[in-house]
Amino acid sequence: MNIRSIAASVRRCTPLVIAGVLLASAALAQDVKGYTRATFDEWVKKYQDAEPAFKAGDIITQKDLDKLRPFIPPGYIEQLDFPEFRAEIGATGDYSQHPDFMQCTEQYQSQVALEPNGALKNYVCGQPFDPAKLKVEEAEASGLKAAWNYNFRWQNYGLAITDVGWIWDRFDGGTHKAPVLTKPPSHLMIVDADIPADTTEHYQGGGTFQRMLQGPYRKTYFSHLAKLREQGAVLPGSGSADFESKEYTGFHDPFDIRGTAFIIYRYNDPLRADDAWAYVPSLRRVRRISVETKSDSLLGTDHTLEDFYSFSGRVLDWNWRFLGWKKIVHVMNSKYLDSHYGGPNGIVPHNDRWELRNYAIVERTPRNPRHPYSAVVMLWDTQTFEPSYSMAWDKKGKLWKFWQWQKKWSEEMTEPTIKEMNVGQRVLTFQSINVLDLQNDRGTHVPCYGRGYPDVKSTAEVEQLYDVSRLEELHR
């Protein structure tokens, strides 16, 4: 069974509203649709050594947008060209990782190496490779090292979210109402944190919101855990060392997909394929998902299982190249707890805080010739290896998708119901993922409400969450 067939079984037919679009917006969309990989490469070359004409405390508006052009990739900078655009430039933050992660890096990094097949050798915990030693002249080897740094970036025991929204946004000149958020029922709850009762201020601008899915999420790392380095960096429990992580994605709203859930096992053996299962209420059974379908649309959204986080696939399934460093402007530590959107399509940061940071430019190309992408370029923050922007090109070499992540520093998340799983963890928390399908004039928001990176207090509780045999019983 594949994700495409699951989507067909749960998709509700929703009529599209075709609205008029301003001629200027249409012309802009057509320009972006013509962008190729060369467009990005030329931008990097032109602005490789650009220095900012702004400073912390400045306010950038539409009339000043050219000041940001050297630091925001083509395909996205155009989305910010509207009268209400406003960006507050913040100071470049220090988001150094948890001391346990830093100690792991200091203790073990010098022994880590690449196997001939690209797998890691002698890796225990912490950051596998020193970013300062990545070299464009050794693009393939450095690309692999960057990929492993990203894969094992600091995330404590993994991300937990009370309510993830998946909003289908159509760029048709239409309008939308702010979505109403709902918590999962108690038997599906991952973490019970407060979520906004009124999201009106969160969803400004245009765009037709065609549909919204909601549900809980959790990913747990079972090995290479910095906080457990004295215990072998592995969660207690039989078989934990076999797994890198386990991941649960559920849906409780709307009613027609309520109870749909996915579980994915990622193994420590980098050559072993993931195992994945889904429970679909309309089928009333748990089905194994083919790993070949990770590049399929996830339940009709513009995301795939493989694109989550920027890259959620297996490192050795791709070819990697390190393309150098570049200064980038991004919302790395939002001034809001949750994402605030605006713009003509309602999918870009609204009146938020941006900062200038240094990024690694890393390219991945699929080894599978049937993969729909010809290439993906990701921009990863040098200090944290957290993603900020990613771009995917189709088989014809046209810019197809553009992802933008918004983050919030855990040390500023002091609200009572989320404080414990954030403050002290020193993580850039996952505020939202927003993907634009530039060829088809649509996008998907994925705002994350009630989120954090909790410690694992009970291995038994975690094992129960990822018990495939309980999926059917739990979600009936």
pTM equals 0.92
Q: How far is CA 65 from CA 76, 90, 362, in A?
A: 12, 16, 26
Between CA 301 and CA 209 the distance in angstroms is: 12
Closest Cα to residue 144, out of 20, 270, 231? Answer: 270
CB proximity list for 309: less than 8 A, separation 6 or greater: 387, 430
HSE-CB at 93 with a 13 A cutoff on CA atoms is 26
Instruction: Say how many C-beta atoms besides its own lie within 10 A of residue 77's C-beta.
Output: 17
Gyration radius of the chain over CA positions: 21
pLDDT recorded at residue 13: 35
- What's the pLDDT score for residue 294? 65
Per-residue pLDDT of the chain (476 residues; tens, 9 = 90+): 555 555 554 444 333 332 333 334 444 555 899 999 999 999 999 999 999 999 999 999 999 999 999 999 999 999 999 999 999 999 999 999 999 999 999 999 999 999 999 999 999 999 999 999 999 999 999 999 999 999 999 999 999 999 999 999 999 999 999 999 999 999 889 999 999 999 999 999 999 999 999 999 999 999 999 999 999 999 998 899 999 999 999 999 999 989 999 999 999 999 999 999 999 888 888 999 876 566 676 677 777 778 889 999 999 999 999 999 999 999 999 999 999 999 999 999 999 999 999 999 999 999 999 999 999 999 999 999 999 999 999 999 999 999 999 999 999 999 999 999 999 999 999 999 999 999 999 999 999 999 999 999 888 889 899 999 888 776 56
In single-letter form, the type of residue at position 123 comes to: Y
Strands (E), 303-343: 318-330, 341-342
pLDDT at 401: 97
The pLDDT assigned to 10 comes to 46
CATH class of the structural domain 3-17+153-475: mainly beta
How are beta strands 113-114 and 120-121 bridged, if at all? antiparallel
- C-alpha 282/C-alpha 6 separation (Å) is 10
